[in-house]
Amino acid sequence: MNRLLLLLLMLLVVLSPLPLGSNREWSWTLCALLASLISLLWLAARGWRQGEAIRLLNPAIPLLFLAACAWVLVQTATWVPDSWKHPLWEQAAGVLGMPLPGLISLSAEDSHTALLRLMAYALVFFLAFHLARERSRAHAMLGWMVAAGLAYGIFGLIVFWTDYSPEWLFRGKALLPDLRSTFINRNHFATWQGLTLLCAVALLYMRMSQTHARPYQLPDDRADKVESFVLKAWKPLAIILLMVTALVLTHSRGGFLSTLLATLVLLYLLDSHSVTKKLSSRVVVLSALAVSGLAFYMTSEVLLQRFDRTDIT
């Protein structure tokens, strides 16, 4: 059952960016429905294994999340003080000549939709948190994310470099000169690509930290070590190169900076927690940074121009 739940969850996660980043009512509603159904399946599976211990989140996490959900509902309530309500409600009442209740939100329906989507994201997090307790499932989820990030990145590069606009996806609309893959907004794709890039860096580290020592094996000389490193590292490094290229060509300043900071934090944590293999850990870290720097050097002209146009505000 856990394998089935993992398959369903990862299909939901990796396919949700396909219909324009699930940026339409039918697609985000479908995603929320599927996340709810998978959660119900998880609950039913737990009922069959009642003796299994459940790992609980830190209480602060659900409390803070519930506080955010409660604030969304407060914004759609009519009983809040008049000083909190948006002034456009009063102006609209004057123009229409009829009393209007007034809300903090300008659209209660849109606020409820945002809450629906936020709760769907929380269900995905909850399922991933529990299904990733087993190491093999966690590794599988990491592989799914890297494969999806690479696929959407390559598709975005093809569209960007060939001016190919698939009719089934974009309906022949002219796209702005930014890489956005299957997403409408380049910043949204930069967020997705940045998260999957972090998974790729972690996958590189895991691959390079694997040992295949055999009994009675003679120590490798320097040439053997270099050959072994190249054979193990070229695939994940090529993946990182393509994904960084796609990220930079989005020309998203916020997406690039947030991904850069997140990657540096991840590399620092990997280096600081590597007790037995400090040297090999730093080789992996430096390799990832070198490949990322190469991709940035080749494709960053427009992004740097946008940074130059950014003032202090």
pTM: 0.82
Place of tokens 């996958």: 203
Query: What is the pLDDT, as a whole number, of residue 282?
Result: 67
Tell me the C-alpha distance between 17 and 27, whole Å.
10
Task: Find the largest Cα–Cα distance for the chain.
Answer: 91
Coil vs helix vs strand at 277: coil
CA distances from 5 to 40, 44, 291 (A): 10, 11, 35
pLDDT tens figures, 229-241: 666 777 888 899 8
Would you say residue 76 has pLDDT above 80? Answer: yes
Report d(CA 8, CA 37) in Å as an integer: 10
Helix, strand and coil percent figures for the chain, each rounded to 5: 75, 0, 25
- Alpha-carbon torsion (205, 206, 207, 208), positive or negative: positive
- Signed CA dihedral, 46, 47, 52, 54: sign only: positive
Distance, in Å, from the CA atom of 149 to the CA atom of 125, rounded to the nearest integer, reads 18
pLDDT: which is higher, 14 or 53: 14
Q: Which whole-number Å values give the CA distances from 281 to 104, 232, 272, 277, 289, in the listed order?
A: 51, 14, 9, 6, 13
pLDDT digits (tens, 9 = 90+) for 149-192: 999 999 999 988 887 777 777 766 666 688 989 998 899 999 99
